[in-house]
Amino acid sequence: MTDLLIQNCLVLRIPNRTTAIVDEGQDILIRGNRITAIQPTGLADPSHFRETIDASGLLAMPGLINTHAHVPMVLFRGLAEDVPLDRWFNEYIWPLEHNLQPGDVGLGMELGLAELIRGGVTTVADHYFNMHEAAAAVEKSGARAVLGWAIFGTGGEEALDNSVQFCQQWQGAADGRITTLLAPHAPYTCPDDFLRMVAAAARETDLNIHIHAAETLDQTRASVEKTGRTPIQILEDTGLLDRPTIVAHACGATDDDIAILAKHGASVAHCPKTYLKLGMELTRVTAMHAAGVHVGLGSDGAVSNNTLNILEAMRLLALLQKDRAHTAEVMPVAEALYTATRGGAYALGMGDELGALEPGFLADIALLDLSGLHHQPLHNPAASLVYNADTHDVHTVVINGKVVMRRKRVLNIDVTDVLERARRSMTRLSQRDPAQRIQTYAP
C-alpha cells in the first residue's frame, strides 16, 4: 500500500540551472514522506493508494523555498512604510519588537505559516525570537522549517546557551520537518568575540549558521573603516564560515567576498522586495551563481516586504537581475525557477533531497491552477510561473507527503481564529517608543 497518488498533472522538472521542462499527463507516487515515482498517468492503480488527488489541469512544482524570513513579523505588517534603513530599525522595528509578549510569536508564526502555505511555500528558514513558540507552530502547521533563535552580542553567553538548547530540543522534530541552527543577528550587532563563541558552539554541537551580513554597501564601507575587514571577511575571520552558513542579503558583498563565500560553501538568501523598498543595493545573484555560490530566495519580514510571497520574489529576481545587467537574456525562466526551488534547497544544505520533483526526494509539492485569465492562453507554462503566477493560483500543497492545503483551504491552522486574535493585538503591538528599542542600528 502506497500512501498518496497525485493523478494526471503537469510536472515541472528542473534538472539543472539552465533547463526547465513541463511534462504533461503525469502521476506522482508518494510513500511516507518521499516521492517514489513520477510516471505517465494511467499506469498506477488508484486502489493501491491510501489517498488520491485528481490533479487534472493542475501543474505540480516543487514547493517553494523561503531561505530567509522573520515570519512572526506579519503582526507588524504595514507599520513601517517608506522610511530609510536606519530609521526603519531605530524608530520602527526595534521599538515595535519591544512590544512582543509571550504568545505573540506563536500567533504571528501561525498567521505567517498560513500565508506561506497559501502561497505554495513548503519550507521556510526563520530567524526570530521566542522560537519555542515558532517551532510549536511549525509542528502544528505541517510545514518544513529551518529555525534559529536570533541573538545579539548584548545577550552574551546566556543568550547563546539558550539558543543552543533550543536547537538541541527541536533538531529533527515534527517527523524531521524541523531543522535548527544558530542565528547570530549580524556582524554589526555581534562583536567578534561573540561571533567566535558562536562559531565554537556551532562546531561543538554540529549546528549550521544563519546570519545577516553585508546588507548594504554602506555596511561594508563602515565595517572596513572601523575594522579593516568587510562583514564577509569578519564571518570568515571569526570561524563562522567553517560551518555551513546562510548569509542573508550580502547586497554589499565585494568580488573578494563572493570568492570567500564560494570557498567556504556558504550560501546566500536573496530578498529582492526588501532591497527595493528600503532603497538598498541588490544581491548580485548572477555573479554568485557564476562563482558557484548557492542562492535561494527569501521574503525577509513582512515589515519590509510586506508579504511572504516567494512567487513575487522569483519574479523580482528574474526582472531585477536583467535590469542590473541591462539585458533581457540574464536570469531566464529556468534559472529563476531553479533558484526558487533547488537553489533554496542547496542554500539550506538539503539540495540532495529537497527542492525537486524526483524519485527519492522529499514530497513537498505545490499544485497550481493556471486556468486564470492572467495565464491564458497558456503558450508557456514555465514562463507563466515566473512572470504571471500569483499566490491565488496555488490550489493544493503537500509537505512531507501530507496534504496541508486542499483546494485553497489551509488544513492545520484555524485561520479564522488566528486572524481574530491578530486583530485583537493590533493596538498593543503598534505602539512605538524609540527609547524602548531592543537594539540600536549604527553599523
DSSP string for residues in 244-305: -EEEEE-TT--HHHHHHHHHHT-EEEE-HHHHHHTT-----HHHHHHHT--EEE----TTTS
Closest to a copy of itself by CB, 43 or 379: 379
Task: Determine phi and psi for 409, rounding to 5 degrees.
Answer: -110, 120
Three-class DSSP category at 222: helix
53-61, 73-81, 146-154, 203-211 -> range binding a copy of itself (CB under 8 A): 73-81
Count other Cβ atoms within 10 Å, centred on residue 174: 18
Residue 152, Cβ neighbours under 10 Å: how many? Answer: 16
222 binds a copy of itself (CB under 8 A): no
Q: Does 283 bind a copy of itself (CB under 8 A)?
A: no
Cβ atoms of residues 357 and 23 within 8 Å: no
- Can residue 332 be called a binding residue for a copy of itself (CB under 8 A)? yes
Q: Which stretch binds a copy of itself (CB under 8 A): 31-39, 145-153, 260-268, 302-310?
A: 302-310
Task: Quote the least distance from Cβ 75 to a copy of itself, whole Å.
Answer: 7
Neighbours of 133 (CB within 10 A): 20
User: Per CB under 8 A, does 174 bind a copy of itself?
Assistant: no
CB of 271 to a copy of itself, least distance (A): 13
Per CB under 8 A, 431 contacts a copy of itself: no
Q: Which is nearer to a copy of itself, 192 or 218 (CB)?
A: 218
What are the beta bridge partners of residue 31?
A: 34
Half-sphere exposure of 117 (CA within 13 A, CB side): 31
Q: Residue 410 CB, nearest distance to a copy of itself (Å)?
A: 8
Q: Does residue 287 touch a copy of itself according to CB under 8 A?
A: no
Q: Single out the residue of 306, 341, 396, 412 in contact with a copy of itself (rule: CB under 8 A).
A: 306
136 binds a copy of itself, rule: CB under 8 A: no
- Per DSSP, helices labelled H in 29-145 are 85-87, 94-97, 104-118, 131-141
Task: Report if residue 45 touches a copy of itself, rule: CB under 8 A.
Answer: no
By CB under 8 A, is residue 253 in contact with a copy of itself? no
Q: How far is the CB of 383 from a copy of itself (least distance, A)?
A: 5
Q: Please, which residues bridge with residue 376 across strands?
A: none
Matching residue, cell 568587510: 230
Tell me: does residue 440 bind a copy of itself (CB under 8 A).
Answer: no
Say how many C-beta atoms besides its own lie within 10 A of residue 349's C-beta: 18
Among 200, 333, 432, 438, binds a copy of itself (CB under 8 A): 333
Task: Compute the distance between CA of residue 181 and CA of residue 246 in angstroms, rounded to an integer.
Answer: 10
H/E stretch holding 6: strand 2-16
Contact (CB, 8 A) for 395 and 369: yes
Nearer to a copy of itself, 364 or 393 (CB): 393
**Residue 392: how many other CB atoms lie within 10 Å:** 14
- Applying CB under 8 A, among 163, 189, 341, 391 the residue interacting with a copy of itself is 391
Is 24 near a copy of itself (CB under 8 A)?
Answer: no
Least gap, CB of 215 to a copy of itself (angstroms): 14
Residues of this chain that bind a copy of itself (CB under 8 A):
74-79, 81-85, 88, 111, 114-115, 118-119, 273, 275-279, 305-309, 318-320, 322-323, 325-330, 332-333, 371, 373-380, 383-384, 387-388, 390-392, 415, 419, 422-423, 425-426, 430
